[in-house]
Homo-oligomer: A and B are copies of this chain.
Amino acid sequence: MEKRSALAIKVGQAVRRIRKEQNRSQELFADDCGINRTYMGNIERGEKVISIDMAKKIATNLGLTLAQFFALIEE
């Protein structure tokens, strides 16, 4: 099995945590980000090493800049 990215796992956990703090369902949040729910599930489980553009789209939809988003992850 391909070695999973530690960063992808942390990003996924942070997306899920912040999304839940904002009381948003995975489905509606995926819609807001313009991606399908299955893909969002993969991201939240840390199964996808996303691009910086996708990270920007997700951070923006959480109301964060990339710097704010990664600061939460790199704490």
Contact = CB atoms under 8 A, between A and B. Distances in A.
Interface of A: 5, 7-8, 11, 49-53, 55-56, 65-68, 70-71, 73-74
Q: Is the interface of A mostly helix, strand, loop or mixed?
A: helix
Contact of A49 (B53, B70, B71): B53
A8 B74 contact: no
A51 B43 CA distance: 13
Contacts of A74: 65-67
Contact of A5 (B8, B53, B68, B71): B53
A54 to B, nearest CB: 8
Residue of A8, A51, A56 with most chain B CB atoms under a 10 A cut-off: A51
